[in-house]
Amino acid sequence: MSDYSTPITSVVEIPTSVSVFDNSVATVDVVEVGIIGPQGVQGVQGNQGPTGATGSTGPTGATGAKGDIGDTGPQGPSGVVDVTSPITNGGSSTSAIIGIDQTAIAISGTQITSGTINSARIPTLNQNTTGSSGSTTGNAATATALQTARNINGVSFDGTANITVADATKVALSDWYLNLAQTPDLIISGTINRDANGVVTTANVTWPDTASGTYTTLSNDSTTGAVNSYSVTKGSTTYTQPTMTRNSIGAVTTRPAIVVT
């Protein structure tokens, strides 16, 4: 029996019977039951066990797909035929042909490295490999002349000598310039200078070939102001009209030929 007034600390006392004496004191029979303690701390993990035995090798895998065919290699060098060795089946050591199943195959000169080719196997070339122009025929022997002469404005020309072509409808350039020098007003262009009486003294000229020059009055009639003499230049050439003679009304009666210097 325990004293119920004693505090319960570490155990739990469960009463099983109670006795009462003279209405003041009670006695209790109890059974002491222990309290479940807290869960303990987890222990340290143990060491790793030994490695197990290696398993058996698995089955061989299936064969892979076949790869693509590679590129074709370069062609090998051509063989060399030795014509000094005996050639059979229709040929000979001097024929420079090989008979294969009675079919002749020609051999180029680059394939022959030794031996001698029979002259009967060399074709005749259609050309003159020797000699000079004296052994040629036709126009080749006289290449300085045309094989057939040609007419130029009615004059025969074969290339062996110069010819002179006469044409009354054509004027030589020198004559053409003389004609223009006789009528300078046809080629005067640009600035024209005049004196106090309005007579032209100088002017620029442009020739048909675009050459430039200068017109200059050398003398004029004191009464009419008409030009009696003048000069026209074309590059380094000067065309001079000598003094012309006029009548009482100013018309030209005498005109000397133009002098070219």
Report pLDDT for 51. Answer: 85
The CA dihedral of 107, 111, 115, 120, to the nearest 10 degrees, is 30
- Domain membership of residue 208 (yes or no) is yes
In the chain, % of residues over pLDDT 90? 11
Report pLDDT for 229. Answer: 93
Q: Which helix (H) or strand (E) holds 16?
A: strand 11-21
Report pLDDT for 33. Answer: 60
- Domain membership of residue 183 (yes or no) is yes
Q: How far apart are CA 204 and CA 219, in angstroms?
A: 18
Report pLDDT for 89. Answer: 46
Domain count along the chain = 1
pLDDT at 83 over 70: no
pTM of the entire predicted model: 0.36
Do 33 and 14 meet the contact criterion of CB atoms below 8 Å apart? Answer: yes
- Domain membership of residue 9 (yes or no) is no
- Domain membership of residue 256 (yes or no) is yes
Q: How far apart are CA 71 and CA 102, in angstroms?
A: 36
Report pLDDT for 22. Answer: 56
- Domain membership of residue 76 (yes or no) is no
- Domain membership of residue 243 (yes or no) is yes
- Domain membership of residue 70 (yes or no) is no
Q: Apex CA 164: angle with CA 160 and CA 165, to 5°?
A: 120
Amino acid symbol at 40? G
- Please, which pLDDT band fits residue 99 given cuts at 50, 70 and 90? very low
- Domain membership of residue 205 (yes or no) is yes
Q: Which domain holds residue 181?
A: 173-260
What number is the average pLDDT over the span 65-79? 82
Q: pLDDT tens digits, residue range 177-197?
A: 888 888 898 999 888 898 888
What number is the average pLDDT over the span 113-125? 72
